[in-house]
C-alpha cells in the first residue's frame, strides 16, 4: 500500500492523465450506448469497472517494478564493494609475499591481520549478496520429501526410522512412550499412531499434564460428579471417558506426582476408575500414549517417577531426534512451511545457510514460527524473498558465527594434520557439532581452493593444508581427488549444465549453501573441459 502511495505521489502527472482518459471514456460510452436501453444496463457496469481495475493493476505492476529495481541497485552496490575488497585483498597478499622476502617492509604480523580483516569483510559482503538471491536448493527439496500422517521428513533423515517404528507400533493396542525435546512433534507422532491403528475411527484426546495442578488433572482425566466440590454444578465426564474406544495422549507425563501416578497405574492395569465424588466404577477401553522431554529412568532413581508405571507405559518407546540432528529435514520443512504461507515465497541463500547451521533449541516449532514471522514481514514489504532481516534476532546473530565457523574448522583440521580422525575430533571440539557438517564444510573448502587455484590439485592442496609438509599436503590432495572423482562419476559431458545439475542434487543437499556457487563453477568447468 505504501509503495502504491509513493508511486501516486511521484507520478502525479501520469495518474491525472489516466483519470482524464477515464473521464473521456465514460462520456463516450454514455453517448455510444445511450440509445441501447436493453444492452446498456448489462454492458456498461462491466466496462465502467474495467478501467479502475486496469488502473489498479497498472499501479501494482509499477510498484513491483520499482521494488525489483531497488533490490537490483542494492545488489549492484554490494557487488561493487565486494570487487573493491577483493582487489584490496590481492594487493595485500602480494605485499605480504614481498614482506617475507624483504624484512625492511612493514610488519608481517600487521599485514597478516589486515589480510584477515579484508577476508572477513569479503565473506560478510558475499553473504549480503547471497541474501538477495533466491536459494535454488528448495526448488528440488520436494523430490526426496515424504509426508506420513502430517509428519514431513526427508528420506535421508533419521525420521525415516521413527516413521517405520510408528507404522509397526500402530498395528497393536500396546501403550507407547514417546521421548523428545520440546517442539520435536511428540503429539504429531501420537496422532500418527492413532490414525494408523484400528482405533482410527475412535476419538483422539490430548492432555498436557504439566499445565494442570494435581487436583485439576485428576478432575480433567477422571471427571467429577455434581456437587463433588464447589463449582461442580453438573456431572462432567473425564478425558478417559471421552477417549473410550480411541486413544488418549498424556503429554509431559513426568510432571505428575507419585500420588497421582498410583491412580493412573490402576487405569492402565484394570481399565477402570471412579469420577471425583463418586463411588461408581467406570470401565473404559483406551490406548494410552504418553510423552516426556525428560529422562524417566533418572526420575525413577530420584523417586520422582514410579518404576511400575514406567514399565506399564513403556511397552514400546519412540525417540524423536532434535531438529539439529535432522539436517536434511530443515530444507524439507522450510519448503513445507513456505507453501503454507504462500506458493510464491522463497528464502535467500544466506537464510538457508543460517537455517541449516542454527541449533534450533525450540526444534520444529521454532522453525515454523520463524518462517511464519519472516513471511509476514516479507509480505508487508511486497517481497516474495525472505531475507536475514526478516528472522528473529537470535537467528540473525548467528551470521557472524557462521562466517567464523569455516575458519575454526580449517584451523582445527590443520592442527590435527588432517588425520583420519580429525573430522570427528573437530566436530567434538566445536561443541558436539555434527560430524557430517564438518565433513561437508571441508568438502566445500577443498572445492573452493580447487576453483581458486585454476583446477591445480597440487596448489589447492597446499593452500588448504597451510603447510608445505609433503605428508600433510598428500592427505589433503587425496581428499580433493576423491571429491573430484565422486563428482565426475555422475556427470555426462554430453548433457547441458541444467541437465547435469538436476542429477547432482545429492552433491548439493548437505553442502553448506555458501559453497553451492563454487560447485556450480566446478561442474561448468568440467563440462567445458577446463580440467580433467
Strand partners, 292: 179
Q: Which residues are bridge partners to 236 per DSSP?
A: 224
| Rg, C-alpha atoms of the chain | 32
Nearest to 346 by CA among 510, 155, 513: 513
> Measuring CA to CA, how many Å separate 207 from each of 264, 267, 309?
13, 16, 18
Residues sharing a CB contact under 8 Å with residue 15, sequence separation 6 or more, in sequence order: 8
Q: Retrieve residue 397's grid coordinates.
A: 546473530
- Alpha helices of 171-287 — where are they, by DSSP H? 186-196, 214-222, 239-242, 258-270
Cα angle 501, 506, 510; round to 5 = 115
Query: What is the predicted pLDDT for the residue at 68?
Result: 53
CA distance linking residue 446 with residue 162, whole number of Å: 35
Give how far Cα 295 sits from Cα of 89, 299, 456, Å: 52, 7, 53
pLDDT for 223:
92
Give the predicted TM-score (pTM) of the model.
0.64
60: Cα within 13 Å, side-chain hemisphere: 8
The reported pLDDT for the residue numbered 130 is 55
pLDDT score at 4: 39
Predicted local distance difference test score (pLDDT) of residue 358: 87
HSE of 250 in the Cβ direction (CA atoms, 13 Å)? 23
pLDDT at residue 232, as a whole number:
80
Per the DSSP assignment, residues forming a β-bridge with 281 are 274
Evaluate whether 418 touches 470 at the Cβ level (below 8 Å): no
Find the helix packing angle between 398-415 and 108-130, rounded to 10°: 130
How many angstroms separate the Cα of 307 from the Cα of each of 175, 189, 262, 288, 409? 15, 24, 11, 17, 45
CA distance 330 to 512: 12
pLDDT for 9 equals: 44
Query: What are the structural domains of the chain?
Result: 2-92 (no CATH), 136-145+324-396 (1.10.8.60), 159-320 (3.40.50.300), 399-527 (no CATH)
Residues 357 and 127 sit within 8 Å (Cβ to Cβ):
no
Instruction: Answer whether 472's CB lies under 8 Å from 362's CB.
Output: no
Q: Which residue has the cell 520422582?
A: 304
Q: How far apart are CA 492 and CA 279, in angstroms?
A: 78
Q: Which pLDDT belongs to residue 6?
A: 39
Calpha distance 504→511 (Å, rounded): 12
CB of 358 closer than 8 Å to CB of 318 = no
Confidence at residue 101, expressed as pLDDT on a 0 to 100 scale: 46
Number of Cβ within 10 Å of residue 227's Cβ equals 12
**Which residues does the chain have with pLDDT short of 50?**
1-10, 35, 40, 63-64, 67, 101-104
Amino acid at each position: 500500500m505504501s509503495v502504491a502511495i509513493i508511486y501516486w505521489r511521484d507520478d502525479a502527472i501520469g495518474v491525472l492523465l489516466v483519470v482524464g482518459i477515464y473521464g473521456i471514456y465514460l462520456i463516450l460510452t454514455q453517448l455510444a450506448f445511450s440509445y441501447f436501453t436493453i444492452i446498456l444496463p448489462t454492458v456498461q457496469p462491466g466496462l465502467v469497472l474495467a478501467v479502475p481495475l486496469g488502473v489498479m493493476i497498472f499501479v501494482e505492476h509499477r510498484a513491483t517494478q520499482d521494488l525489483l529495481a531497488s533490490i537490483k541497485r542494492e545488489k549492484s552496490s554490494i557487488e561493487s564493494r565486494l570487487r573493491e575488497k577483493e582487489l584490496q585483498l590481492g594487493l595485500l597478499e602480494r605485499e605480504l609475499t614481498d614482506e617475507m622476502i624483504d624484512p625492511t617492509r612493514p610488519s608481517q604480523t600487521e599485514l597478516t591481520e589486515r589480510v584477515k580483516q579484508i577476508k572477513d569483510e569479503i565473506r560478510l559482503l558475499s553473504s549480503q549478496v547471497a541474501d538477495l538471491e533466491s536459494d535454488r536448493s528448495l526448488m528440488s527439496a520436494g523430490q526426496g520429501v515424504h509426508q506420513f500422517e502430517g509428519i514431513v521428513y526427508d528420506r535421508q533423515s533419521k525420521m525415516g526410522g521413527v516413521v517405520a517404528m510408528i507404522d509397526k507400533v500402530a498395528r497393536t493396542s500396546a501403550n507407547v512412550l514417546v521421548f523428545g525435546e520440546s517442539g520435536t512433534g511428540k503429539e504429531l507422532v501420537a496422532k500418527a499412531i492413532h490414525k494408523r491403528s484400528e482405533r482410527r475411527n475412535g476419538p483422539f484426546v490430548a492432555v498436557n499434564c504439566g499445565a494442570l495442578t494435581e487436583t485439576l488433572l485428576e478432575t480433567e482425566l477422571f471427571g467429577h460428579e455434581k456437587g463433588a466440590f464447589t463449582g461442580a454444578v453438573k456431572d462432567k465426564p473425564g478425558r478417559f471417558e471421552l477417549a473410550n474406544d480411541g486413544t488418549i495422549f498424556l503429554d509431559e507425563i513426568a510432571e505428575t506426582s507419585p500420588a497421582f501416578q498410583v491412580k493412573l497405574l490402576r487405569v492402565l492395569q484394570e481399565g477402570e476408575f471412579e469420577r471425583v465424588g463418586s463411588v461408581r466404577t467406570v470401565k473404559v477401553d483406551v490406548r494410552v500414549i504418553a510423552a516426556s522431554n525428560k529422562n524417566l529412568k533418572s526420575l525413577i532413581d530420584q523417586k520422582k517417577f514410579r518404576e511400575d508405571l514406567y514399565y506399564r507405559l513403556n511397552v514400546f518407546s519412540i525417540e524423536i531426534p532434535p531438529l539439529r540432528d535432522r539436517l536434511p529435514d530443515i530444507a524439507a520443512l522450510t519448503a513445507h512451511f513456505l507453501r503454507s504461507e504462500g506458493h510464491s515465497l522463497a528464502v535467500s541463500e544466506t537464510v538457508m545457510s543460517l537455517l541449516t547451521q542454527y541449533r534450533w533449541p525450540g526444534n520444529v516449532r521454532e522453525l515454523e514460527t520463524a518462517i511464519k514471522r519472516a513471511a509476514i514481514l516479507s509480505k508487508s514489504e511486497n517481497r516474495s524473498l525472505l531475507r536475514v532481516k526478516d528472522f528473529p534476532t537470535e537467528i540473525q546473530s548467528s551470521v557472524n558465527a557462521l562466517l567464523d565457523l569455516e575458519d575454526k574448522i580449517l584451523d582445527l583440521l590443520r592442527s590435527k594434520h588432517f588425520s583420519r580422525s580429525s573430522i570427528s575430533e573437530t566436530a567434538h571440539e566445536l561443541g558436539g557439532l555434527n560430524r557430517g557438517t564438518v565433513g561437508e564444510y571441508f568438502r566445500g573448502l577443498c572445492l573452493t581452493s580447487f576453483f581458486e587455484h585454476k583446477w591445480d590439485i597440487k596448489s589447492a592442496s597446499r593452500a588448504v593444508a597451510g603447510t608445505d609438509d609433503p605428508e600433510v599436503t598428500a592427505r589433503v590432495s587425496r581428499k580433493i581427488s576423491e571429491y573430484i572423482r565422486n563428482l565426475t562419476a555422475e556427470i555426462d559431458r554430453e548433457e547441458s549444465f541444467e541437465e547435469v545439475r538436476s542429477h547432482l542434487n545429492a552433491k548439493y543437499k548437505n553442502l553448506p549453501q555458501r559453497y553451492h556457487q563454487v560447485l556450480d563453477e566446478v561442474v561448468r568447468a568440467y563440462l567445458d573441459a577446463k580440467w580433467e
